[in-house]
Structure 1
C-alpha cells in the first residue's frame, strides 16, 4: 500500500478529484486529501473525508502537535495535484508555503505530479508557461491539459485530464519512479497507430482482428505526459481520446496507410502499434450475403493489403525513428524472438516491440509483456506490467536514440 497525497486546487474541476480519490482507494492506496481553502468552496471536506477515511484540513494550524505541514510531505510516496490551477502552479513555482498544500509540496521528497486545469488563456499565458517550465526543471511532472469543454461555453486546451488517465499515470510513477514520465520528449512530434483495421466483406460483415488499441492508447498517453506533441491514428478503437492527443480515425488498412503517410511526414517518431490486416476481400458485396441459394459464396478470395510499416520505413525523412510491433507465436520453425528478428530484418525499422500472443495473451487485457529489439536484433529486458508501464519502457528505449 502506497501513501498518496492528493492536492486539490480551487477550480470547477475539483469535483473530478473525488473520482480520482476513489480510483486511488480502490487500488488499495492510503490517500490523504490536502485541498486549498478555495477548493472547499467547490467540494466539501466531508466528501473527501468519507472517501479517503482520513481527516481533511487546509491550514498549517491544525494538528500542530503532529507538525502536519512537514510530516504529510515527508511520509508520502507520491503527491498528485488535481486540479492544479494557474494560481496554485504560480505559488508552487515561487516556493510559497501559505497553506497546507504548498507547505506539503516543499517538504515532499517523492515524485510530484501536477494535472493542470484552467481556462485556455490562463494556460497559454507566458507567466503560466514559465511556471510550468520552472516546476519541470525542478523535477516535477506537469501533465499537459486535455482539450475540450471548459467552464461555460468555452472550449480549448485547459480541461483537466480524465481521472482514469491521471490514475493510470500515477500508477506508473509509483511502480517505476518519476523517470517513467521524464520530460525527454518535449518538442518532439510523435505519430502512433493503434487498434485493428477492418476489411469489409459486405455491408454487415468484415475481416478483423482482436486488437483493442489499449497499448497504442497507453503509448500516446505516456508520450503526451513526457512532453511530446502526439497524433494518434486510431483504427476502430472504442476508447475516450487520451488527453493532449489529436486523434485521426481510420477503418481499413488503406485508410490507415493514407493517414499514417500524411501525418508522419514531419514526425520525429512513428510507432506502428496497430494490427493491420494482411489481407482484404477481393470484392465487397453491395448487399448482405445470404445463406442458401446461388448467391451463397463458396469461398472468399483475398488480396494482400499494403505493408504500411515497410512503406513508412522506405519513405521516412532523414532522422526519423520508426518503431514497429510484432505479435508472434512460436512454432516448429522457431520461437517468438526468432520470428520477430526475421520480421525486423524484412521491415528495416529502428526498433521492434515484440509481444508473445500465444494462448490469446495481450489482446484486450489490462497488462502486457513485451521485449524491444534493436535494429541489430539485440533484445532488451522484458517489459512487464500495465500497458502504461510497458509504454513508459518503450519510450525509454526510444528517447536516447533521438538525434
Structure 2
C-alpha cells in the first residue's frame, strides 16, 4: 500500500478505539491516512489522538469555515485513493444507503467516485435486523465493499456476528485487493471448506482436524480473480473473505443439502472440505454417561458429497481435494475416477508443516491426463496459483 491515500471515516461506536490501531497499521504499510470523524465518534476517541497517529489535521464538521471556504469536502473527496469507514455503525450504513449528506463523512462519500470500504460494527441483533440487511444489500449493489463483520463477544456482553473486524485483518484484506485479476470474471464459483462435525449426543461429536484455512484461501483467491463466490463453511473460526457470500453448516448431511442447492447455479465447484466419512446411526437425545466398559458407537457411512454433486445437471466443472497420509497420488487418482470429477488437488497431510492446522501446504493438481505440482508455500499464495490453473483449464475446456 506504499503511497496510497486512504481517507478513514470514524463513526460513533465503541469500536472507534480500534480505528487508532488501524491508522497505525495502515501507515506501517506505507499508506498516507487522513481521518474524518463524525460528531458522535468524538465522544469515544479524541480528534487529537487521530491527528497524532495520522500526522494530519482531523476534520469533524462541514461547518469548518477555514476548510469549507475552499470547498474542503470536495478536496478531500478528490484526494483519496480509497475511502474506508471503520467502524461503520448501523446509522452510518442507513444514511449511506439512502444518500444522505447531512455531515462531512456522508457528503464526502456522495462527492467521491473512489472505491469505498465499510467495516461494520454493531450489536448482533442490529446486524441481523431486516433494515440493516436491506441497507447492506443496497450498498453492495452500488459498489461498496464490506470488510467483516466478525463474530464473537461484543461490548454489550452478547455474543454473535457484528464485531468490527480486527485492524490487522482489515489491512490484510485491503492489501490483498491489489492482487485482483479477471481470470474468473463473470464466473460463479462454489467452494466448501473446513470440517463437518457429526453429533453423538448433545455434548459430543465426531470431527477432524481441518482448520478451513485452505478452503477459505481458495474462496478468497477466486473472489480476487473476479468470480462471484459462495463459500459453504463447516464449524471454523475464520473471518469471511472479502466479497464472498458465506453459508455455515455443521454436518455432512447439511453440507450435501447446501451443495445440491447451490451447485446448479455454479460454473465451478471446488470442494476442499474435510467431510466426515461416518456418522452415528442415531444421535442420543441425552448425554451418554461414562461407564467402566466404555461405549460402542454404531456408525454408518455419510453420503459422498462430491459424487452426488457430480450428478447435478447442468454439471459444473468439479475440483476435489484428497488429503492423504500415504500413496498420495495413487489414492488421489482413484478418487478422481470414483467421484467422476474433472480435477483433484492432492496433498500429503503427513508431511511436516503442511495440511491440517498448518499455515502452509503443497499440492499436486491432477486431471485425467496431466498433473501440475505446486511447491510448499503459504496457503494464500498456493490458493492463488491453484485458482489461476483452474481458471485456465476451465476456459480451455469451454
TM bin (shorter chain): 0.5 to 0.7
Tell me: CA distance 1:345–1:215, structure 2 relative to 1, closer, same or farther (3 Å).
same
Q: CA RMSD in A?
A: 4.1
CA shift digits 1:54-110 (9 cap, x unpaired): 743699xxxxxxxxxxxxxxxxxxxxxxxxxxxxxxxxxxxxxx75885685xxxxx
Matched-pair contact (CA < 8 Å) for 1:172–1:388: no
- What is the TM-score normalised by the length of structure 1? 0.65
Q: Say if 1:201 and 1:207, in contact at 8 Å, map to a contact too.
A: yes
Answer yes or no: is the 8 Å Cα contact 2:8–2:33 preserved in 1.
Answer: no
Q: How far apart are the structure 2 equivalents of 1:204 and 1:283?
A: 14
Unaligned runs of 5+ in 1: 60-97, 106-112, 136-141
1:323 to 309, 319, 325: 319
> What is the DSSP-based 3-state SS (H/G/I as helix, E as strand, rest coil) of the residue aligned with 2:273?
coil
Q: In the TM superposition, what is the alpha-carbon distance from 1:277 to its structure 2 partner?
A: 0.6
* TM alignment of 1:62-77, pairs within 5 A: none
1:369 to 326, 343, 362: 362
Residue matched to 1:345: 337
* Gaps in structure 2 of 5+ consecutive residues: 60-73, 101-108, 140-144, 148-164
Distance 1:383 1:293, change over 3 A: closer
Give per-residue Cα distances to partners, 1:95-127, cap 9 Å, x unaligned. Answer: xxx75885685xxxxxxx77688623559xxxx
2:375 matched residue in structure 1:
382
2:310 alignment partner, SS class: helix
Give yes or no for contact 1:348–1:375 (8 Å, CA) kept in 2: no
CA contact (8 A) 1:115 1:160 kept: no
Q: 1:101 to 1:265 in 2, by over 3 A?
A: same
SS at the partner of 2:286?
Answer: coil
CA contact (8 A) 2:6 2:80 kept: no
* SS across alignment from 2:372: coil
Residue 201 (structure 1) aligns with? 200
Asked whether the equivalents of residues 328 and 355 of structure 1 are also in contact (C-alpha less than 8 Å), the reply is: yes
Quote the Cα distance in structure 1 between the aligned partners of 2:275 and 2:382: 21
Equivalent in the alignment of 2:385: 393
Cα pair distance change 1:154/1:201, threshold 3 Å: closer
How many pairs align?
326
Counterpart CA distance in 1 for 2:390 and 2:117 is 21
Greater shift after overlay, 239-248 or 256-265? Answer: 239-248
- Structure 1 Cα separation of the partners of residues 319 and 343 of structure 2: 5
> Structure 1 residues 7 and 147 mapped into 2: Cα distance closer, same or farther (>3 Å)?
closer
TM-score if structure 2 supplies the norm length? 0.66
